[in-house]
């Protein structure tokens, strides 16, 4: 009864341990478990404005903290900068972030995006007081 374990039980134990190790390694290598790199961004998009040789705004999605970021890079145009963020894929922005302090002003907003979800961002210029924007760059896509 308390003798040497059978060969069959030893084989099962090895297979079970091997399966658990393989599962653990597979999980550690998956993007969801591996995490994201700090301040790794994608979807850098730029909008045009009335600045000669300049852009009006630039924005991106930052993985660290799921942040949508916009910067007004042209203080001479008198316009605000706005970033549109879409995470549902329907083209309507769920996230809108304005930078209204003139050239060099930036702003960001956290918005929880599930790991692996596609994120689209688009930078524009506009007038926050009228809640209107135009001169948008292209929609850029990445994955959270």
pLDDT number for residue 44: 64
Residues 37-80: tens digit of each pLDDT = 233 456 666 777 666 556 788 899 988 889 999 999 887 788 89
- The pTM (predicted TM-score) of the whole model is 0.67
Q: Return the percentage of the chain with pLDDT > 70, whole number.
A: 64
pLDDT number for residue 144: 86
Query: Under 8 Å CB-to-CB from 122, ≥6 apart: which residues?
Result: 45, 47, 59, 83, 84, 86, 93, 136, 137, 138, 139, 140
Q: How far apart are CA 33 and CA 12, in angstroms?
A: 28
**pLDDT surpassing 80 at residue 118:** yes
pLDDT number for residue 73: 87
pLDDT number for residue 46: 76
pLDDT number for residue 70: 93
pLDDT (average), residues 108-116: 93
Q: Sorting pLDDT into bands at 50, 70 and 90, what band is 9? A: very low
More confident residue, 115 or 19: 115
Q: How far apart are CA 43 and CA 141, in angstroms?
A: 6
Q: How far apart are CA 144 and CA 31, in angstroms?
A: 10
């Amino acid at each position: 009864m308390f003798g040497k374990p059978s060969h069959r039980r030893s084989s099962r134990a090895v297979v079970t341990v091997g399966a658990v190790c393989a599962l653990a390694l597979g999980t550690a290598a998956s993007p969801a478990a591996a995490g994201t790199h700090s301040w790794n961004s994608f979807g850098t998009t730029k909008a045009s404005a009335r600045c000669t040789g300049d852009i009006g705004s630039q924005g991106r999605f930052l993985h660290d903290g799921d942040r949508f970021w916009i910067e007004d890079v042209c203080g001479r145009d008198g316009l605000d900068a706005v970033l549109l963020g879409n995470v549902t894929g329907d083209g309507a922005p769920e996230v809108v972030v304005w930078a209204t302090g003139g050239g060099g002003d930036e702003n960001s907003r956290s918005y929880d995006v599930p790991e692996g979800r596609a994120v689209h961002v688009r930078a524009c210029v506009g007038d926050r007081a009228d809640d209107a924007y135009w001169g948008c760059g292209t929609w850029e896509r990445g994955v959270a």
